[in-house]
Amino acid sequence: MRLERLEIRHVRLPLVAPFETSLGRLLTKDAVILRGEAEGLVGWGEVAAWSDPWYSYETVQTSLYVLTRYLVPLALRAEVADAATTPDPWPTVRGYPMAKAALQCVALDLLAQERGQSLAHWLGGRRSEVPVGISLGIEGSIDRLLERIGTAQEAGYQRVKLKIRPGWDIAVLRAVRERFGDLLQIAGDANGAYCLEDADHLAQVDAFELSMLEQPLQHDDIDDHAELARRIATPICLDESLPTLGTARQALATRACRVVNIKPGRVGGIVVAQQLHNLCAAAGVPVFCGGMLETGIGRAANVALASLANFTIPGDLSASDRYFHRDLIAPPFVLLDGGLLKVPTGPGLGVAVDEEALEAVTVRRRKLNGAPP
């Protein structure tokens, strides 16, 4: 089976509420949605990149260019099965893991549909429901943050991850722990906002019994994370520092982290994400599935991935209404009792794209066709 045609859409969805981290503030979610056709089947993928180069050099605009100019023409000449099962199906294009991940998701969706399997079953998932947490951004006041945490706790989320940065950290975490006590699982996420010289300051978080402190230092410094891990008791989780299996092996060997955040877009696709899961499982390091404010298309792929055995920590997946008034899938993901999301069981991604909703938020589109047989 070969990909016959592919449509690339730039979409823009308003967020339910602004989302602010140490990297910047989002009011809308721009995304690239891919729709591929092959032998009467339709496969979907979503580029996780943001509009600005905060989290990664890869953005919506650069992904659009690289997909249109290079990746999609290559994919239209290749077997779908190869694109769906190879760690990097397009190695001649250096980098751009988020664009590659979305394109591979299209191939996986098509191949799993052809074989009558859900993506979760294809990957070897073991759960029909996955535990999820909620990631809350930096708010205008601690009182406002406490209010939002209370709402999340009432909704049933199993874990709350709080974005922190210098000036919005120790006092915030103390207030949260004092208000909600020991029953609430709390994590901190700095998105690289600190440096090793802040180690004594960061050691203060030990008093709050966080489940983890995610990406406290710069994205390209595993050695300093290893040193910080020796100086604080709170488990360090790495995200941006692990773009490849090689960097993950280095981090595990140096004990730079005790938890790993796995994002398919960051590592180049679900195949590598599965390999990273297996690597961490062999090392006895638990993982969770991170999020990039994906629509239901990207979220469906993440939920399927999170059904694997070593995803033992609630992921940053959340229900659709956490971010969007109307998602791009119908029905949307809904939080179940106990803070769970249902793993789709239909063929492929197992979700139905809401074509009307998709059309309403489309900024522009481009259709590319494969060579005739």
By annotation, the residues acting in catalysis are 163, 263
Question: Encoding tokens for residue 5?
Answer: 């045609």
In b/e form, how buried is each residue of 182-201, taking b as 16+ CB within 10 angstroms?
eebbbbbbbbbbbebebbee
Q: Is the CA virtual torsion 206, 207, 211, 212 positive or negative?
A: negative
> Which residue pairs, CB below 8 angstroms and at least 24 apart, start in 233-237?
233/203, 233/206, 234/205, 234/206, 234/210, 235/211, 235/259, 236/212, 237/187, 237/212, 237/213, 237/261
Are the beta carbons of 329 and 354 closer than 8 angstroms?
yes
Q: How far apart are CA 146 and CA 152, in angstroms?
A: 10
Q: Of all helices (H) and strands (E), which one includes residue 228?
A: helix 222-231
